[in-house]
Structure 1
Amino acid sequence: MLPSDDAPVTAPSDVERGSGVALWRQIVERIEADIHEGHLAPGTRLPTEMELAERFGVNRHTLRRALATLNEQGLIEATPGRGTFVKEPPIRYPISSRTRFSEIVSGEGRAPSGRLIGSRVEPASAEIATALRLPPGSDVLRIDMLREADGVPITAGSHWYEAERCRDLDLLVAATGSVTRALETLGLGDYRRLETRITARLADEEDRRLLSLPAGRTVMVVEAINGDPQRRPIQFSRARFAADRVQLVVKN
């Protein structure tokens, strides 16, 4: 196991020079073994680059190469402002007739949270009007949200609602951090999934910023229509999920 932050600096002999195995590769193998053997549990925060470089007796360039390799292997993940952590297993995310982010994340033993990042009333595009069964150009309320599990961004999404039917919904979302609780206040909490479409693409600049993703990562784009018990559409959403943080499960 790697020393704790209070442990003395590891001697340079912790990696073997002249062994024929590159120092960065030895570091990868040591951290890899600690993760697989359970000495470094998912969610564990690693020491800083400087601390690790000192403990392994290498320069920071060598240490960074090792960390980059572990990141590419999906074993660790750096989150801006939080540090580098042993990666949590993907969240098992069932998509069924009743799909609720907070319930799913809580069921995985993680702490869900959400925050409003923008809202506005705009004319419905042809796609959104069709999804919500409205005349093209009708006023729709757009709500943009970021949702996290244990402080790690999982999905960023845009959600559209008939403006007149869902008046002040954005204010309720801002107050509660939850779309479900906000819709319950309007008497629309018993919504059901009517349709789901799933595609994948490379994360663009906005995805990388919101989801704290490095360049080259993939997002899964989930477009969904949710409706009331009479199957009248309430919401059309387009959410981008960090592909390596969730496992989408389609329930029959």
Structure 2
Amino acid sequence: MNIAKHLEEDVRRYFQAGDYLPSESELAKRFNVNRHTVRRAIDELVFNGMIERQQGRGNMVVSQPFEYPLHAGAHFTDNLLEQGSLPTSRVIERGLTRANDKVAALFGVLPESSIIKLTTLRKIDGVPASVIDHYLSDVNWWPAVKHFEVGSLHHYLRDKLDVQLTRRSTRLRAVMPTKTDCRLLQLPSKTPVMAFKTTNVLKGTDRIVEFSSSHTRSDLVEIVLEH
């Protein structure tokens, strides 16, 4: 039994920053092991920055970023629901626009071709987390997409249009936030954001149908690369 893993899952699901873990003796009884084994497991959580030992008080849960595993099948909504968090997303801007040279090249269309653009604001447990510009290649989707308001865009495309998308590539770098980022994400101007540029293809094909550019709070989300 991986006690550290069990404790980590408990902390993410049931504890808030400032809460204290049960005593080592209580945990030893729960897992049917000795206190030394429990202490080693807690040491792992201390090393990972999830727990802080408080002299004479116990083991305190500290504020921590939300994990976002990055792989082909990664979905913001599903990942955070699995962690016991409440992710939300709403559209703040939508419409048809013209593809610039870069986006046109990705989609395999002529520059200035008509495409769909949506801007969404994502929150985690009510806290603004990221602002995303989504570009969709197929204007035939617009009659359905123009009614998209809240939730997962990919789930909406799947349910309304029977379109399933898979991540093809992601580029990530750190940048300073724009004034719009600071306003929407409630972020100080000197706090960097993570800038993602992502391409998604129709499942089972190599056809790129979505390009997204997002700015995500670096103090709120931790990217996990799975190998």
Q: TM-score of the superposition, structure 2-length normalised?
A: 0.70
The alignment status of 1:178 with 2:178, answered yes or no, reads no
The alignment status of 1:129 with 2:104, answered yes or no, reads yes
Partner SS state of residue 141, structure 2: coil
The alignment status of 1:223 with 2:197, answered yes or no, reads yes
Q: Deviations over 1:89-120 (max 9, x none)?
A: 11111111112110011122100111000011
Residue 109 of structure 1: which of 74, 84, 89 is its match? 84
Specify every segment of 5 or more residues in structure 2 that has no aligned partner in the other structure, as ranges.
1-14, 20-60
Residue 166 of structure 1: which of 133, 137, 141 is its match? 141
Specify every segment of 5 or more residues in structure 1 that has no aligned partner in the other structure, as ranges.
1-39, 45-85
Q: How does 1:18-57 map to 2 (within 5 A)?
A: 41-42=16-17
Matched letter for residue 168 of structure 1: P
Q: How does 1:133-212 map to 2 (within 5 A)?
A: 133-174=108-149, 176-184=150-158, 185-188=160-163, 190-212=164-186
Partner SS state of residue 153, structure 1: strand
Match in the other structure for 1:6: none
| Residues 193 and 225, structure 1, Cα contact 8 Å, conserved in 2 | yes
Moved segments of 4+, more than 3 Å? none
Cα distance in 2 for partners of 1:171, 1:123 equals 16
Partner SS state of residue 168, structure 1: helix
CA 1:165–1:98: 2 relative to 1, 3 Å: farther
Question: How far apart are 1:164 and its partner, in Å?
Answer: 2.1
Q: Percent identity?
A: 26
Q: Deviations over 1:5-60 (max 9, x none)?
A: xxxxxxxxxxxxxxxxxxxxxxxxxxxxxxxxxxx94289xxxxxxxxxxxxxxxx
Matched letter for residue 198 of structure 2: A
| Residues 94 and 146, structure 2, Cα contact 8 Å, conserved in 1 | no
Question: How far apart are 1:87 and its partner, in Å?
Answer: 7.4
Q: Deviations over 1:124-170 (max 9, x none)?
A: 00111112222211101100000111001111100001242422343
Bigger-Rg structure (1/2):
1
Question: How far apart are 1:250 and its partner, in Å?
Answer: 2.4
Question: How far apart are 1:249 and its partner, in Å?
Answer: 1.7
| Residues 93 and 104, structure 1, Cα contact 8 Å, conserved in 2 | yes
Cα distance in 2 for partners of 1:178, 1:216 equals 30
CA 1:217–1:196: 2 relative to 1, 3 Å: same
Q: TM-score of the superposition, structure 1-length normalised?
A: 0.63
Matched letter for residue 111 of structure 1: L
CA 1:88–1:183: 2 relative to 1, 3 Å: farther
Matched letter for residue 100 of structure 2: S
Cα distance in 1 for partners of 2:76, 2:205 equals 23
Cα distance in 1 for partners of 2:63, 2:109 equals 42
